[in-house]
Structure 1
Amino acid sequence: MNKPLGVLAGIVIVVGALNTAGAWYTGSKIEGVLQAAIVQSNQELATQLQGSTTHGTLELVSIERNLYSSTAHYRLKIQDDKAGPDAQPVELLFVDNIEHGPLPWSRIKTFKWMPVMAVNNYALEKSPFTEKWFAATKDQTPLKGQVTMGYNRSVDGHMELVALETKLDDNSTFSFSGLTMEAQTDAEGQNLKAKGYMDHLKIHAVTVDKPPVLVELNGLTLASDLKKTPFGFYLGQNVMVLSEGQLTYGAAQSVIKLKNFEYADSASANDNLMSGRLSYKVGEVTLDGKPVGSAQMVLTASSLDIPAMQSLMQIYQSKFQPQADGTLPQTPLTPAEQVLMQVQVEKMLAAKPQLALEKFTIKTENGESQFNVAMSLAKPASFEGAPVEVTKQMLTALDAKLLLSKPMIADLSAVQAQLVGQTDPQAIAKMASMNSEMAGVMAVQTGLAKVDGNNILASLNYAEGQVDLNGQKMSLEDFITAMTTRFGGVASQQ
């Protein structure tokens, strides 16, 4: 035998032997690994669904072990309390073809030579709950994916919802391009990264007594970069971008279209305190092809006491969250719960949280309006004092500014007239102008704002018991009296 070929053959034999030994070892351990993963998944499900009416559990139904591969079957049960006590839970069945490491064939043929513990190739199976879903995908599995588990317990996953087109009823249709997701986590799922993309989704709903409705979404991108906190939940960044959305509705089949919608949130923790930012942006809105405008909103918060928030959330979920039938719980707070709630509120305020609507802008063809407000809170010496004194101590600072464009009001009034079916251009223009002027008059009459050219302006600043309303300074007591007089008088006249 040629010497280089002999060396190569020897390497192949050695690698094959090692892979066989590794596959046997992995096969003997795979059930324990799966059971541990299922326990962790159920714990995570319980955490993420906490506070909702939905519950879910994953279980290993069976496993068949072989030398180089194993086949496992899972059952996912989903129960929604709103469905009522007699409703059967949704059951989803999955089959998982597991390739044992260290060198699964699916990785070898794609030139991925790094040893791994296993490659899981899972797919949704047909069941009474998924028959229609399978029919819509022409009997292909509608959900499938692959998960690669490293020896360091890291996970690299791919999931796919396949494309489908189906009839919802005799006249309505649903079209879906499919969606792909990629995700990576480290050992114990402490760090999670994910990204996904959907090309389009279309729902065309037609009923006998109502005009057709068409909903279209195009170019949806999702991305997350999260880290698990010691408090059991994830913090980090989430982004959702929609290239275009469209709604066609009404007797006139009006078309509202938005482009470049962006949602983003970010949050971080420093010891027990959390800070976060939430933003929305709509790049362009049109109605029947005519421009309406754009909008943006940014909310921020800082110094939020995490344990106190969690405790208050638990009280809310047990005492104030609507039940399955939509009614509120009838059990009042016990004296102990009232004390606990006050203690947690005091902890929240002791952290001196800051809340802000940093930006809220609406821009139309002829004008742009802006609003922002920020406030700082603190723990008062006691909640038993006079309300004004408690407010002075609890609200340490507030600053708000409003710029309301009268041309923008006119633009949106014209859009509103079109939405309710008005078609006369002159009537629309007259009503829009009247509404914008009326807004200015009402602002001046209430004393809450002033008019400067085409803009309605208002500002409010509060600090150390003193209020500055549009340049007029007064004590907090005088401000409360003035507001009570103005709006109390208006209410009594109505």
Structure 2
Amino acid sequence: MKKSLVAVGVIVALGVVWTGTAWYTGKQLEGRMAEMIGNANAELKKASPEAGLTLSYQDYQRGLFHSSMQLVIKPTQGMTSAILKPDQSIVFNETIDHGPFPFAQLKKFNLLPSMASVHTTLVNNPTTKPLFDIAKGQSFIDAQTRIGYSGDTSSDINLLPLNYVNGEEKVAFSGGQFKADVDGQGDKIAVSGEAESGLVNTVNEYGQHVQMTFNGIKTEGDSARSEFIERVGQQKASIEKLAISVEGKEMAVLEGLNINAKSAVQDDKKHLSGQIDYSLDSLKVQNKDIGSGKLTLKIGNLDGAAVHDVTQRYNAESQKLLADPAVTQNPEVYQQKIVELFAANLPLLLKGDPVITVAPLSWKNAKGESTFNLSLFLKDPAQATGEATTLEEQVNRVVKSLDSKLVIPVDMATELMTQVAQLEGYQPAEAAKLADQQIKGLAAMGQMFRVTTMEDNNVVSSLQYANGQVTLNGQKMPLSDLVGMFGMPGTGEPDVAPAPELEAPAAPAVPQQ
């Protein structure tokens, strides 16, 4: 009997502790909600000021073991949102299980103590109704988030499958699974996920049936807060296959598209560097194999303090533009203002003497691979003294040195142009003949104007520059002479007469379609 009473007492005691702890953590979460929403808005403003959005919460109802509320996304007051109209909003229902062991978490056999577990679904309102229509009345987004006592969060986000048909319009989506982890201070973020497939059928403005399909979308990346720019880190994205067809005829197929972008603070803790890699395994247009390509673009020695200043200015000016109806209601004016804003701040980005490299930009087909490489060392124009009175002095204020090289195999270029000619309606024999004439003509013209040479059946062009001196295909000359070769205003006319034997042969007439 005594043992039974002891057991009951222990159970009652544990129940009291559980109840008290759950009540405390629920109250603690409610007290921190305003702070968390404020931090989220600060992040949103820094990361995407042009979005013009503000996050808020409403209808918070706290219970003993569970609480609920709604998160609301609306356009920022006094600004024009790029996503939502003034009368639109996106609302999420949030169901919160209190810690230390939220019920939703225990269902997944996760026994780690946490402040809360939050279940998020989308609310059906006039803004989101179209999405509910194609999701058969269900919330397209279903997310479960664990909130730790340190403030860190871990979210599992599920995008539900879609299958919508309305006359000739169709949308199908396999659904997707994504994961996002954020530390308590919001300093470190990791995001990953994938979606298996999707399809969109629609009718374009010309009454043609257009279909786009994709397979195997994946993304993975992480970032950390930096004292100079908002975040540095790495993000990868890939698509196994993307296809577009018109009236049942396959127009283009891209396979193996990969993007890898990364940024970092350099070892001196004063400069930033970045790199972005693109690669495409295959491009086919109307069943013609056009080839594959890749690009690696790097930039280094960006002055961190200058980048920070430019970012702050850009964000502030962007906010002003979004608050001006005369600008936001005219997309062309808005685009022009953004370009002007970037151009005005561009000189500041040269403060650290940045270096830009392209190594390489290439395109490859069955007959060979064309490549372009570039190395450009820039200078801070603010460090220059005196007035620039000549072209060389003007360029030397910004450019320290340049080294570039272009190599185009004749066979590769001929194969590419043969495929293009067939797409234009030529028969294979005619297309091959036309392509051969075109490439020979272009090669001859390049030699005629001394911008290219022929090496081992490759069209080659190399250009180096330093201290006002240019080397074009091994020939040294002042910068003014190079500019004069192209007859630019105020620089004189080309002094090279066309060589009769290098004149391009006439191309055959284009066939009637």
TM-score range, shorter chain: 0.7 to 0.9
- Rounded to whole Å, the distance in 1 between the matches of 2:321 and 2:474 is 41
Corresponding residue of 2:257: 261
CA offset at residue 55 of structure 1? 1.2
Q: 1:355 to 1:410 in 2, by over 3 A?
A: same
Corresponding residue of 1:419: 423
- Rounded to whole Å, the distance in 1 between the matches of 2:335 and 2:124 is 42
Corresponding residue of 1:46: 45
Is 1:473 matched with 2:476?
yes
Q: 1:188 to 1:403 in 2, by over 3 A?
A: same
* Counterpart among 307, 315, 330 of residue 325 in structure 1: 330
Matches within 5 A, 1:313-392: 314=313, 317=317, 323-328=328-333, 347-380=348-381, 381-382=384-385, 384-386=387-389, 387-392=391-396
User: What SS is found at the alignment partner of 2:185?
Assistant: helix
Q: 1:30 to 1:207 in 2, by over 3 A?
A: same
Matches within 5 A, 1:301-316: 301-312=299-310, 314=313
* Counterpart among 52, 61, 72 of residue 75 in structure 1: 72
* Counterpart among 127, 130, 133 of residue 129 in structure 1: 127
User: What SS is found at the alignment partner of 2:89?
Assistant: strand
Corresponding residue of 2:511: none
CA offset at residue 13 of structure 1? 5.1
TM-score normalised over the length of structure 1 = 0.87
The answer to whether the 8 A contact 1:407-1:436 is kept is no
* Counterpart among 98, 104, 109 of residue 111 in structure 1: 109
- Rounded to whole Å, the distance in 1 between the matches of 2:346 and 2:358 is 22
Corresponding residue of 1:18: 17
Q: 1:177 to 1:331 in 2, by over 3 A?
A: closer
- Rounded to whole Å, the distance in 2 between the matches of 1:345 and 1:206 is 42
Q: 1:210 to 1:488 in 2, by over 3 A?
A: farther
The answer to whether the 8 A contact 1:247-1:256 is kept is yes
Cα deviation digits, residues 324-347 of structure 1 (max 9, x gap) = 4123379999xxx99x998x6665
- Rounded to whole Å, the distance in 2 between the matches of 1:331 and 1:413 is 36
- Rounded to whole Å, the distance in 2 between the matches of 1:83 and 1:327 is 14
Which residue identity is paired with 1:360? L
Q: 1:159 to 1:228 in 2, by over 3 A?
A: same
Which residue identity is paired with 2:401? A
User: What SS is found at the alignment partner of 2:435?
Assistant: helix
Cα deviation digits, residues 78-127 of structure 1 (max 9, x gap) = 47837799x53431121111000001112223221111000010100111
The answer to whether the 8 A contact 2:229-2:308 is kept is no
Q: 1:399 to 1:89 in 2, by over 3 A?
A: farther
Matches within 5 A, 1:80-479: 81=80, 87-167=85-165, 170-207=167-204, 209-231=206-228, 233-249=230-246, 253-270=249-266, 271-312=269-310, 314=313, 317=317, 323-328=328-333, 347-380=348-381, 381-382=384-385, 384-386=387-389, 387-420=391-424, 422-479=425-482
Which residue identity is paired with 1:433? D
- Rounded to whole Å, the distance in 2 between the matches of 1:294 and 1:331 is 34
- Rounded to whole Å, the distance in 2 between the matches of 1:89 and 1:405 is 58
Cα deviation digits, residues 23-61 of structure 1 (max 9, x gap) = 0101222222222111111111111222x3x31111111
Equivalenced residues, count: 480
Instruction: In structure 2, list runs of 5 or more residues that go unmatched.
Output: 498-513
- Rounded to whole Å, the distance in 1 between the matches of 2:122 and 2:386 is 56
Which deviates the most, 15-24 or 98-107? 15-24
- Rounded to whole Å, the distance in 2 between the matches of 1:208 and 1:384 is 55
- Rounded to whole Å, the distance in 2 between the matches of 1:156 and 1:416 is 50
Q: 1:106 to 1:27 in 2, by over 3 A?
A: same
The answer to whether the 8 A contact 1:177-1:198 is kept is yes
CA offset at residue 485 of structure 1? 6.9
CA offset at residue 489 of structure 1? 4.2
Cα deviation digits, residues 400-434 of structure 1 (max 9, x gap) = 011012222222223323434x0522222222222
- Rounded to whole Å, the distance in 2 between the matches of 1:8 and 1:396 is 82
Which residue identity is paired with 2:446? A
Q: 1:383 to 1:228 in 2, by over 3 A?
A: farther
Q: 1:428 to 1:341 in 2, by over 3 A?
A: closer
Which residue identity is paired with 2:369? E
Which residue identity is paired with 2:407? L
The answer to whether the 8 A contact 1:371-1:400 is kept is yes
Q: 1:484 to 1:38 in 2, by over 3 A?
A: same
Q: 1:154 to 1:11 in 2, by over 3 A?
A: farther
CA offset at residue 252 of structure 1? 7.8
Q: 1:191 to 1:287 in 2, by over 3 A?
A: same
Q: 1:88 to 1:366 in 2, by over 3 A?
A: same
CA offset at residue 20 of structure 1? 1.6
The answer to whether the 8 A contact 2:257-2:281 is kept is yes
Q: 1:350 to 1:9 in 2, by over 3 A?
A: same
- Rounded to whole Å, the distance in 2 between the matches of 1:128 and 1:390 is 57
CA offset at residue 446 of structure 1? 1.4
The answer to whether the 8 A contact 1:392-1:465 is kept is yes
Task: Please give the root-mean-square deviation of Cα atoms over the aligned residues, in Å.
Answer: 3.4
The answer to whether the 8 A contact 1:83-1:324 is kept is no
Which residue identity is paired with 1:175? A
The answer to whether the 8 A contact 1:320-1:328 is kept is no
